[in-house]
Structure 1
Amino acid sequence: MRGLLDTHVLLWWLADDKNLSPAHRAVIADPDNELFVSAIVVAEVAIKASLGKLQAPAGLDEAVRQSGFGELPFTAAHAEVLRELPWHHRDPFDRMLVAQAIAERLDLLTADGRLHAYAVTCV
């Protein structure tokens, strides 16, 4: 499987948080899966941490690399998909992740049920 981690899934994985579902834990731990973390996730964490809305580990980019996740930049092609997305969800970070997952044909690892309204496979 090829997948893209939503922000909370990444943070829960890195913190070994009990909120991470057994299904997500199994997918991430499986070395046969090709998993990515978007630059959008790192930006979301940085913005929310700087606003005091989120406790985030320092050196998130290094933690992502050490975890073996691929890095996925946000491209103009992703923005074109974003423009066409229906407004099922208002959060701009989540909308960008959905656009990336659609454009790159990636499953989206998320616990956010609102994202199931989009034409993307949510795990």
Structure 2
Amino acid sequence: MNYLLDTHIILWTLFDPGKLSESIKEILVDSEKQKFVSGINLWEISIKYSLGKLDLGNKNPDELLITIKDSGFRITEIPHQILSAYYKLPKKENHKDPFDRMLIWQSIESGFTLLSHDSKLEQYIPNGLTLVTNRI
């Protein structure tokens, strides 16, 4: 099974693993499972870092990318077919985060299981999202 990490899961894995549930930790350490980080995650990290909304300790986003790769995560880009079909993802009144919505769509279209901290994403399950939430 292939897993796509949301941005919080990436950051907690690297900086604060105590915030991860046992079920997420089990997935992350299982060498049989492929774990992916999206270009969307990297874009979100870079934007929030540049706005001063994200502290990466003594790293910048470029250095964090190296750490992500060195940690065994694979980087996946978003094919143009997924980007052009994004309009098909239904709008949800109580969830409008553009980064999350793009990760949801990428997960649905690419067959990833999304690892997230956000239980609001469960509302996308009827739309084809496979999700594991970080419930401690």
- Asked if Structure 1 and Structure 2 have the same fold, meaning a TM-score greater than 0.5 normalized by the shorter chain, the answer is yes
Report the Cα offset of residue 20 of structure 1: 1.2
Report the Cα offset of residue 60 of structure 1: 1.4
Superposed CA RMSD: 1.2
CA deviations 1:40-69 (Å, max 9, x no partner) are: 101101100111111124211101110111
Give ranges in structure 2 of 5+ residues lacking alignment: none
Q: Does 1:95 align with 2:109?
A: no
Letter in 1 for 2:130: T
Query: How far apart in 1 are the matches of 2:41 and 2:28?
Result: 16
Report the Cα offset of residue 98 of structure 1: 0.6
Q: Which residue of structure 2 lines up, in the alignment, with residue 115 of structure 1?
A: 121
Letter in 2 for 1:97: L
TM (normalized to structure 2)? 0.85
Report the Cα offset of residue 80 of structure 1: 3.1
Letter in 2 for 1:62: I
Identity over the aligned pairs, expressed in percent?
39
Q: Which has the larger radius of gyration?
A: 2
TM (normalized to structure 1)? 0.94
Query: How far apart in 2 are the matches of 1:81 and 1:5?
Result: 21
Query: How far apart in 2 are the matches of 1:81 and 1:121?
Result: 18
Instruction: Look up the SS of the partner of 1:52 in the other structure.
Output: coil
- Report if aligned partners of 1:28, 1:35 keep a CA contact under 8 Å in 2: yes
Query: How far apart in 1 are the matches of 2:2 and 2:78?
Result: 17
> Runs (4+) of structure 1 moved beyond 6 Å?
none
The range that moved more, 80-89 or 28-37, is 80-89
Letter in 2 for 1:111: H
Q: Which residue of structure 2 lines up, in the alignment, with residue 49 of structure 1?
A: 49
Instruction: Look up the SS of the partner of 2:17 in the other structure.
Output: coil
